[in-house]
């Protein structure tokens, strides 16, 4: 009977972030689909990959966010995909980009969240630091702006809120800080 079920399956190449997004919605799928997705993902993860830092984020000030020395472990993991950034703001921007690829409405939900002096993400640079618009911001590839003036605890809070906005379990589906390699 199992052989007959496998004959009904079709193999399709999909971008990895899309597969991770589908796996986050496994409660809506039947066991054959989730099993096929998980086995394909496990096969892909046998070879470790990491997103390489790029200089694609745009800083909206003459000062640059100071880069952290290499090999310091500025990583997060979202649905099994490792994300790396050169600075804490860059890492957060890359996480925003990945979640935006999977669920743009999650970033809209995060845009509604703010502290007493800043928004976690905004469509316009000047809307991030609404009390201190002179503070630096960076633009993510997705077009969202984030603060470049943040500490690690502030980024940790932002990451938790990003996970919550995307309906992901922080510490399981969304891991930050990623202190040890999660790949063999």
pLDDT single digits (tens) 73-121: 689 999 989 999 989 999 999 999 999 999 999 999 999 999 999 999 9
pTM over 0.75: no
Low-confidence ranges of the chain (pLDDT < 70): 1-10, 17-30, 33-34, 37, 41, 44-73, 179-184
- The rounded distance, in Å, linking the Cα atoms of 32 and 181 is 30
- Which residues touch 130 (CB under 8 Å, ≥6 apart)? 114, 117, 118, 119
Predicted confidence at residue 74, as pLDDT, reads 86
Q: Three-state SS for 69? A: coil
Domain ranges of the chain: 2-45, 58-175
Q: For 58-175, CATH number?
A: 1.20.1380.10
Q: Three-state SS for 82? A: strand
Q: Are strands 137-139 and 145-147 parallel, antiparallel or unpaired?
A: antiparallel
State the DSSP string of 26-51: GGGS-HHHHHHHHHHHHHHHTS---P
Q: Strand pairing partners for 84? A: 75
- The phi and psi torsions of 126 (rounded to 5 degrees) equal -70, -15
CB 118 within 8 A of CB 181: no
DSSP state of 71: T
Predicted confidence at residue 13, as pLDDT, reads 75
Of residues 108, 151, 114, 148, the one with CA closest to residue 131: 114
Q: Three-state SS for 78? A: strand
Predicted confidence at residue 153, as pLDDT, reads 92
């Amino acid at each position: 009977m199992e052989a007959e079920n496998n004959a009904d399956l079709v193999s399709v190449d999909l971008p990895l972030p899309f597969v991770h997004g589908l796996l986050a919605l496994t409660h809506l799928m039947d066991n054959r689909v989730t099993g096929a997705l998980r086995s394909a993902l496990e096969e892909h993860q046998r070879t470790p990959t990491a997103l390489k830092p790029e200089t694609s984020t745009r800083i909206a000030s003459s000062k640059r966010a100071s880069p952290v020395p290499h090999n310091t472990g500025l990583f997060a993991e979202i649905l099994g995909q490792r994300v790396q950034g050169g600075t804490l703001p860059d890492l957060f921007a890359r996480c925003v980009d990945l979640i935006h690829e999977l669920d743009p409405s999650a970033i809209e939900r995060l845009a509604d969240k703010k502290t007493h002096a800043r928004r976690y993400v905004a469509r316009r640079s000047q809307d991030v630091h609404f009390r201190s618009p002179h503070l630096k911001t960076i633009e993510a590839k997705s077009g969202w702006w984030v603060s470049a003036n943040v500490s690690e605890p502030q980024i940790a809070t932002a990451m938790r809120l990003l996970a919550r906005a995307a309906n992901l379990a922080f510490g399981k589906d969304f891991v930050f800080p990623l202190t040890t390699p999660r790949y063999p």
